[in-house]
């Protein structure tokens, strides 16, 4: 299963970073693959759902993300489900000096025919697009958090 994992540090304080990242609609500002994310139900806590449209390798994917863990201001876990992929996104925040450290982890599980080749996606040659996506998301998150 492809996994994207990055750690970002910012001078923004923990509460500001939590407020920003726990609102998953902000993915349009920092995740380069996200075309649109709309909250469809809930108040941001456990059970809240978001409709996400992303583009990866020229293909659009629709996912419904549900907040499955919400431990303010330190940890949020969302599970995104679509026809071809299940994504589990975990953001763990901690105070770091006068700023904040964010550890972001996204695990992708493919369904259908893609599920048969999913285990091969961790091979270096096939993993390159995911590494690139992670690098771009890291840069986007750094830029967005620097504006807080």
Pull the structure tokens for residue 42: 């809930």
Separation CA 51–CA 36 (nearest Å): 8
Based on the structure, what is the number of domains in the chain? 1
State the pLDDT confidence band at 127, using cuts at 50, 70 and 90.
low
CATH code for position 85: 3.30.530.20
113 prior amide bond cis, ω within 30? no
Give the predicted TM-score (pTM) of the model.
0.88
Q: What is the pLDDT of residue 110?
A: 80
The residue among 57 and 30 whose pLDDT is bigger is: 30
Q: Mean pLDDT across the chain, nearest whole number?
A: 89
Tokens 């609609």 locate to 25
pLDDT tens digits for 67-112? 999 999 999 999 999 988 899 999 999 999 999 999 999 998 888 6
The residue among 130 and 17 whose pLDDT is bigger is: 17
How far from 121 is each of 59, 76, 84, 113, 115, CA to CA, in Å? 17, 26, 14, 13, 10
Q: What range does the domain containing 64 cover?
A: 3-146
């Amino acid at each position: 299963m492809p996994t994207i994992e990055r750690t970002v540090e910012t001078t923004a304080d923990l509460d500001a970073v939590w407020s920003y990242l726990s609102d998953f609609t902000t993915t349009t500002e920092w995740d380069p693959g996200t075309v649109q994310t709309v909250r469809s139900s809930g108040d941001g806590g456990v059970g809240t759902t978001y409709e996400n449209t992303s583009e990866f390798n020229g293909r659009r994917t629709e996912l419904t993300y549900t907040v499955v863990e919400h431990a303010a201001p330190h940890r949020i876990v969302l599970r995104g489900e679509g026809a071809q992929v299940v994504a589990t996104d975990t953001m763990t925040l901690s105070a770091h000096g006068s700023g904040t450290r964010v550890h972001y982890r996204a695990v992708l599980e493919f369904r259908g025919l893609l599920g048969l080749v999913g285990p091969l996606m961790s091979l270096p040659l096939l993993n390159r697009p995911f590494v690139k996506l992670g690098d771009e998301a890291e840069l986007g998150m750094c830029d967005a958090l620097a504006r807080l």
